[in-house]
Structure 1
Amino acid sequence: MSQSEIGARIRELRKIKHYSREVLAEKIDISTKFLYEIEAGKKGFSAETLSRLSTALSVSCDYIMFGEAEAKYDAERIICALKILEPHQIRMMQDIVKVLYEICRMV
Structure 2
Amino acid sequence: MPVSTIFQVLSSATPNLISPSFECQNQSGTGGSHLMPLFDGQMPSLKMLHLDGFSTWPAHYFRGLTHVSFCRQSADLSQRHSTSEFLDFLEGCPLLEDLIL
Asked which structure has the greater CA Rg, the reply is 1
State whether TM-score is above 0.5: no
The TM-score, its normalising length taken from structure 2, stands at: 0.26
Answer 1 or 2: which has greater strand percent.
2
Answer 1 or 2: which has greater helix percent.
1
The TM-score, its normalising length taken from structure 1, stands at: 0.25
